[in-house]
Structure 1
C-alpha cells in the first residue's frame, strides 16, 4: 500500500472549499484522468477514470463526512483499491488549507513504476492546484451538500 499526503492553501472561506468538494460531478474540471463521477446515493459514488489510455470504473463509499471538516472514502470491491480523506482547515475568514491523504494499491507493472517515480504524488499536487484555481476563479462554490455521514 502506498500513501500520499498533499495540501494547498485556498483563498476562499473554509465552507466554500468544503461545499465545492462535495460536488463530485465537478471533479473532472480539476482532477486529471477523471472522466465522470455520478453520486448514486448520499454515500455512494461511481467513478469513470482514464489514465494512460486505460479506462476504469469503480464505486467508492463515503465513510465519514463532517461539514467544513472532512470527507473520507474507500473504494468498494474491484480492481481499484484506495482509501482517503480530505480535511479542511480554517486559516482566517477568507482562506483555508485543504489537505488530501490517500492510501492506494498500485495495480500492475505500469502503476507500480509510476508510484515509485512519484507520478501519483505529482498528479495529486496538480489536482489540488487546479481545485484551488477552480474555486478561486469562480469566487464561490457551484453547490453544496451539508449532510453528515
Structure 2
C-alpha cells in the first residue's frame, strides 16, 4: 500500500528566499521536525537521518529534478522508500506559495498508523509552518 500527502503554505517572503532556504539541504533540520541531519554526499545525493516515534531511520536520497525558484524533486535510493517534490509559486513580489507532495510506502506498524491517522499530514503541516516562520524571519531581516 502506498500513501501520499499534499500540503501547501503561503509565505510572506519572496520566492527567492523560500527557494534559497529549501534548496540548501543542510538547512532542512531547521524546519523539518523529524529530520535530525542531512549530509550532502555529492551534487545529487544526500543522506538523511530521521527521528521518528519508536525508531530512527536513515536513508539516501537523490535529487531527480532541480529547477531554480520553481521545483525540487527527489527519491530515495536506499532505505525508507519515498519520493517527493516541493514547488515554489510567486504570488507577488513579497509573497509566495510552497507546496510539498510526498509519495511513500509505509513500512511497519508505526508508519501504517501514521498514514491511517493522518499524523503524516499533521507533521507536514507543522513542518511547513516552521518553514514559513524561518522564511518570513529571513525576509524581514
TM normalised by structure 2 equals 0.95
Offset from partner CA, 1:93-117 (integer Å, 9 cap, x none): 0010000110011111121011100
RMSD: 1.3
Partner of 2:76: 75
Number of residue pairs matched by the alignment:
140
Offset from partner CA, 1:120-147 (integer Å, 9 cap, x none): 0110000001000011112279xxxxxx
CA distance in 2, matches of 1:70, 1:42: 16
Partner of 2:94: 94
2:59 corresponds to 1:58: yes
CA distance in 1, matches of 2:84, 2:55: 22
Structure 1 gap segments, 5+ residues each = 142-149
CA distance in 2, matches of 1:136, 1:13: 9
Equivalent residues of 1:17, 1:135 under 8 A apart: yes
Equivalent residues of 1:16, 1:140 under 8 A apart: no
Equivalent residues of 2:54, 2:110 under 8 A apart: no
Structure 2 gap segments, 5+ residues each = none
Residue 77 of structure 1 deviates from its aligned partner by: 2.8
2:112 corresponds to 1:112: yes
Partner of 1:16: 17
Pair 1:119–1:15, CA change in 2 (3 A): same
Partner of 1:131: 131
| Bigger fraction of residues in helix | 2
Partner of 1:44: 45
